[in-house]
Structures are given as C-alpha cells and as structure tokens.
Structure 1
C-alpha cells in the first residue's frame, strides 16, 4: 500500500482539533489527494451482494462523506463500497453545536448532527462529476460500488414524497440506494420504522421509480425485537434488496467510562459491537437469505468482520474505527480477514458464506 502525508502522524494531529473541525480537515485532506492508495484486492475477498459485485466486503458507512465530496478517495483507500450521505431534499444546518463527541476512553463517538448537509442538488452535481471521473480511472476503482443514503429534512418533511423524489434524483448515479429511517437525530424519523409506514414508503418509491437501483433499508439497533418480524417482512415484500443492521444507538452501556458519555445523540464504535451483533443474529433468520444483510456497528478488526460474516452478514460497514485507527484501516482489516479465513480453512469469502449457510 502506498502511504501519503495523510498518515498516522497526521491522524494524531487532526485529533488535536475538536471533532467536527477534525472531520472537516480529514475530508479536505482526502479531497486534495492526501489519502493512501491500497493495492488491488485479491479474488478471495470478492463477494456478490444485492445483485452487485464487490471487490471486498468492507464498506465505508454513510455519515463520513455526507455530501459526496470524496467517494474516489475512499475507494482508493481500499473500501469495497462507499456509501455517501445521508442527503436530504434541501440543504440544512443540522442541530446546534457542539454535536459531535469523541469518547476516547471507550473508542466511541456520540453524534447528534441532524443530517447537516448541502442538499440533493449539490450531492447530484458531485456524484455526476464522480461518475464521469470514475470512467477514466483504473478498472479496480470502477469496480467499487457507490451507494447513496437518503433522509428527510427536519422541517417540512413529507416522507411519502421526499423519499421517492430523492430516489429519482440519484437512480442514474448510484449503484445502490439506502433509505435511512433510523437516525436518532431527526425528530420523528425512527417512527417511520413501522411495518405499515415502511410498506407505504417503499410502495411510493416503486410507483415513481420502477427501474431504481437495488434498495437497502437501514434499521436502528434499538427496535423492539417483537416488531422485527413484521418490519423485515414489509421490507422484503416491498422489494428491498438489503438491510443494513444497524445505525447508532440511543442506549448507553454501563461500560462507558468517558466523561462525555452522557451527551445525547447516537452512540457508535466499540460499545455498540455487542448490540449490533445481537441485532444481526435476530435479523438473519428472519431474512432467510431473501435479501442481503449488511452489518454495521463496532467493527474494528478483520476478526470482527469474520465474526459478522460467520453470523450471517453478507458484507460490513465501518466508520468510527476509521476515526481512531486512521486511513490505513481498510487495508489492515482486509489483511486480518484473509489471515482469519486461511487459519480456519476457508479459501475465500464465498467458501465461508456457503459453509455457514
């Protein structure tokens, strides 16, 4: 892997800034080409999911590149897919600052950003530019699918109109689309995760966009387990190709020790790992291979990825671990995953998935 000035040292310097300024500095550095370039993935890591081919199962979760400014840089870092967003119909400032907190002692993040972003027009302009640029780049970069994560504005939201509209705007640009109903930081958003409302939203999307790309729905880890069967059924009956399990949590494990643990918002990172794994184990039998399952939450190593794949996930997504471990994380995780595969007698991701299911 080729490293650049955006190195471990630079990561430590960025951590000297407050979290939101640090995030913006990281985006700017990557936009300037200061990120690492990973080598081409070995075939053993290739996998199929939602009807698409992915060069490896380790994706960049939504939230890092909200405004689709750096999908190429993230693809070069070695991620098997990059999910941009969450994007809303109109630009909005998000919630009052401070709204992003590093729980360093717990290797966690709390955020209450509130879908701050530039809105769908700027998002589409950047994705269009990216698609044009990607066509001129190496085949390895062209093979990295790009997802668009869609949400609603805090004020004036009309979900049955907004989600179909957003899907129509990105359908020609994104390889897959995620419907975000599970952020805890937009009032009323999680209330849309009922089976009836999800069915209505998916029906409205289909009516306006009969030829849309594969659709995923991102769920909260705090859902009542008793409600999960109906929600999963509604998603699959509505034509969803994948479920992302899961978003940040509003719960606070007793293990948290950082002084900022009491801040409101969604918790991500290491303390979310067990809850995310529990959610995965509940959802996988309900899905019964009728759709893909993408695991997200508390993943920090190749062994974590192996555990999620063995637990029924088709792919994974990471975010918070990148904040703490730096831009070489995707490549590090893939090396560890290959080591774990070979140690346990598997030759590829496909062999693991076929053996477990």
Structure 2
C-alpha cells in the first residue's frame, strides 16, 4: 500500500467507530419493530450516504466556512452526543459498567493523540466485529438477518412521513460532528469517507443480526451488551477530546447528567418518576429530536444567517409535531416542520451559503 492508503483507511475506521452511537446500535431495532425491513433501509441508506457525502462535498474553504459559522453549535453537538451515549449506557447497562464506560471515555482524552486514536479505533472496530460474529454464529443471527420482518406494527405508508426527517438529520448532522471535521482535515484522501461507509454500513447489518424473531425485538445477549459498551466508550472519548480545549468541565457535567437520567429511567420504571419520564425508550426517542430537529435546523439557519431568535421560535413551533410523529405514530405530522424549514430557507435565499461560494 502507498503511504496515503494506510492513513486514509485508518481515518475511515476512526469515523466509523466515532459515528457508531446509541442511535445506530438501537434505533434499527425500533424501526424494524414499527416498519419492518423498509424502516431499517430508510435508516441505513441516508445514514451511510449522508455521512460519506460529507467527505466529498466539503472543500477546505467550505469546511472553514462551516466551522466559523457553526463553531458554537458544533461544540453543543459534541456535548449533547456525549450526554446521549451516557444516558443510553445508564439505561441499558449495569451501573458499574455504565459508570466505567463514562470514566474510561473521559480519561482517554488526555492520554493519546491522533495516531493513538486511530489505533484505538482499529481495536474497537475489531472488537465490535468479534461481538457481532459471536452473536451471529452462536445464536440465531444468521436466521435473523435472513428473515428480518417485511412489515411492522405501523402501517407501511406511515414511514413516508418519517423518511424526510431521518434524511434531514443524517444529511445535516455530519457537518456539526467535530470528529468528522478532524478526520477530513487529517486524512490524506477524501476516500476515508468511502471506507467509513463500507465499515459503518456493515456494522448496521451486524446490529440487525441481533434481531429476535420470536420476541419481535432485540435479543439482549452478552455479545450485544459488549458491543454497546465498547462503542459508547469510544464515542464519548472521541467527542470529549473535541470539547476539551474549551469546555472540559462542561463535558464532565453533561455525561454525568446523561448517566443520571439513564439510571432514573432504569430504576424508576414502576414509580411516578418513571411514569413522568415515560420509560427508557420514550426518553431515548425524545432525545432523538436533537438530531432530527434542533441541530439540523441550527446548522441551516446559521449557514443562511437566519436570526437565532427565529430559529428557536421555529423549533418551538415544530416540537409538538415531532412529539406526535415520534411518540404517537402520527408521522404525517412531520411534514409540517419539514415544510416550515423550506419556507424559512427560501425566505433567506439571498443570505448565508450563497455568498461565499465564489471562494470555496
């Protein structure tokens, strides 16, 4: 291999490991249950293509433009992502393991540089592959992957309202991911994001192999729990590294708050607090609104120079529709916020991204 090939592959593997969140490791199960195989592909295709496109769309000048316009939003994106992983760990894993994941992820920040993170990504990816293979060959993984449900509990047509929201999230959010920006800056070739697409897409199929045909949900095995633990730890550490120069203390607090919320949903399932939170899966889905609404809106609004007050007003107006769509299965309601964002973008068409295009 050439001197460029190995670093390119390494950064592609790093991106795949840093992007394997609790979203990619659990939401496929939710969508398989609700919509069957079409729901899984509605998640997989825009996810892989949207993230891979990031590496090919951004020139250095465009990347600098995005970083300058959205610097604060990128930091909040990393903080929210750390909190989300910590919540999922607290909800799904035993308290000692969940706390250990958070602690190790935060400690990793001060110990290793770029080369160390690439090596760690290789180890994490190899360990994740072992977990997937373990579940695939030791249980019903082969049969599960070949017999994923063709339909789910929701009417097939209801998926149509969800697809634009999923696509918006996965097209927009990579531009706020500081680990992706680091990889784009450091990798000698944009093809690192092609490597990412291959590895991450394969990982999603591996996650789907844990589908339990009898229970119509994920088969929670030691292999799946190990996969979650390994990937959550890496993602927390990778994003903690990005916020460390400016918001180190904030990073510690957000993961502790996320962990506490996860523990509350885990242990308060049968008391009034559990009723208020709506259970772990309800909290998990509501936190997805950050990535399907808040961050995509703010990315586009900042690039178009739409005032923040108008952005917050638009998000507040959209929240009830997301609640209906995500929690009440009224996915037709999700067309309203998608329409609103197009109206706002058209209203500010002469601003933002169009001005600097002569330079990029």
For the aligned pair, the TM-score class normalised by the smaller chain equals under 0.3
- Structure number with the higher strand fraction is 1
Question: Which protein is richer in helix relative to its size?
Answer: 2
TM-score normalised by the chain length of structure 2: 0.27
Say which structure, 1 or 2, has more relative contact order (CA 8 Å, 6+ apart): 2
Q: Which has the larger radius of gyration?
A: 2
TM (norm. structure 1) is 0.27
